[in-house]
Amino acid sequence: MSDRKEASTTTRPGLSRTRPGLSRRGFLKGALAGAGAISFGSYEAVAQMVGGPSVRGWGVPPGLVRIDSNENALGPSPRAVEAVLSLVTSINRYGQNPDLLGKLARRHGVPVVEWTDSPFAPVPGAWVAVGAGSSDLLFAIGHAYVREGTEVVESLPGFGFITRFAGVANAEPVRVPLLEGMKPDLDGLSAAVTDRTAMVVVTTPGNPTGQLTPMSQLRPFVESIPERVLVLVDEAYIEFAENEDDREGAASLIADHPNVIVTRTFSKVFGMAGMRVGYAVARPEVIERIGRHRANTLTLLSTHAASAALDDTDHLRRSQELVSRGKRYFYEQLDAMGIEYAPSESSFVMMNMKSDVDELVRRMREEHNVLVGNARARWNIEGWIRVTAGLPEENEAFIAALKKVLVSS
């Protein structure tokens, strides 16, 4: 389903440090050529040095800085790669890793039901469903719960998968604008629930906002929603939360709230976007209901890679640390440049260019081989871009290219 144009939502994180009356171009030129700073000519040489073929990101051609899709710049776990390589001569056979379902159940503290090695064997009583990316499961959730004439409540701007599905299903999408600082309006979401509401969606951390909904706020919100309404908590990025306790997520709510379903993915912190593995945690009756709307989309390779990735806690930690360091670098550079941004609990940062971002994104791509997310084109947020924290050299290449584009604008 293609993205539909959404109404603009104005948000002001309030972090701009640009001096009044000074243009960004003038600010940057002064910062680059002023006392104690390198000259503009010297800066040009530095910018050339950190960009170009010297940047080698995982999974992309040399010289391409692809920080627009929230992929893990560290790449997949070596254990996941080893698992795939060990099975490449077996892809003539059906199969799945029999340990994956149980590992995920233990990870989230729900009752354990094990798979067999056959993808065709039924799994009665499971609290976990695994699919080809979380989108596979979101699609099944939409089919299972959204009907013509019902309503789906979600923040605006937001990921919007279920909202788009509602449009296709002739249901009514109800979008609730964000609060100041790009934070979700939980009271507004709750107040938007009517007798026709089939589902309420909370994405935490938000995409594209990066704002976390802590459990201290999420629990009373869930309690405010009628039990007949499904509460979908999308946690694709929650492993990047700065506070380790926040990474536990909403699965603990499921025991007392049978209308809660939590989705996660292996595409982000586990670095397996190309393998397409995601999962949902919910009560068995919910898992069974969405299972009626799913095909057998898993593969021998993807399930073994996912199971191996779960065992590699060192890779998980390094991925989290890489993102955390990258965001801190962005904050420092953006503060020095006087550019407003929204501090993020995710793997990306929203940045306010206060300019024509279509042109900026085009120039970054065509002149510097740097790909960033255009928030105006994707979410109708004027003047903003979304940038994934990459490898240090990718982050440096982005900042160098951004300075050059802004100075010459």
Please write down the HEC assignment for all residues of the chain: CCCCCCCCCCCCCCCCCCCCCCCHHHHHHHHHHCCCCCCHHHHHHHHHHHCHHHCCCCCCCCCCEECCCCCCCCCCCHHHHHHHHCCHHHCCCCCCCCCHHHHHHHHCCCCCCCCCCCCCCCCCCCCEEEECHHHHHHHHHHHHHCCCCCEEEEEECCCCHHHHHHHHCCCEEEEEECCHHHCCCHHHHHHCCCCCEEEEEEECCCCCCCCCCCHHHHHHHHHHCCCCCEEEEECCCHHHCCCHHHHHCHHHHCCCCCCEEEEEECCCCCCCHHHCCEEEECCHHHHHHHHCCCCCCCCHHHHHHHHHHHHCHHHHHHHHHHHHHHHHHHHHHHHHHCCEEECCCCCEEEEECCCCHHHHHHHHHHHHCEECEEHHHHHCCCCEEEEECCCHHHHHHHHHHHHHHHHCC
Domain boundary among 311, 339, 357: 311
pTM for this prediction: 0.85
% of the chain exceeding 90 in pLDDT:
77
In this prediction, residues 158-163 reach a mean pLDDT of 89
The residue from 294, 311, 328 where one domain ends is 311
pLDDT of residue 296: 80
Q: Residue 6: is its pLDDT beyond 60? A: no
In a domain, 90, yes or no: yes
pLDDT at 352 over 50: yes
pLDDT greater than 50 at residue 43: no
96 and 118 both lie in a single domain: yes
Identify whether residues 101 and 189 lie together within a single domain.
yes
Query: What pLDDT score was predicted for residue 53?
Result: 54
Decide if 5 is inside a domain. no
If you average pLDDT over residues 360-386, what whole number do you get? Answer: 96
Mean pLDDT along residues 346-354 = 97
Do 275 and 401 share a domain, yes or no? no
pLDDT given for residue 252 in this prediction: 96
Range of the domain at 381: 24-75+315-407
Are 293 and 322 in a shared domain? Answer: no
Q: What is the CATH number of the domain that holds 189?
A: 3.40.640.10
Q: Residue 321 pLDDT > 70, yes or no? A: yes
pLDDT tier at 120 (50, 70, 90 boundaries)? confident
**Do 265 and 157 fall into the same domain?**
yes
Number of domains in the chain: 2
pLDDT band of 54, cuts 50, 70, 90: low
Higher-pLDDT residue of 292 and 1 is: 292
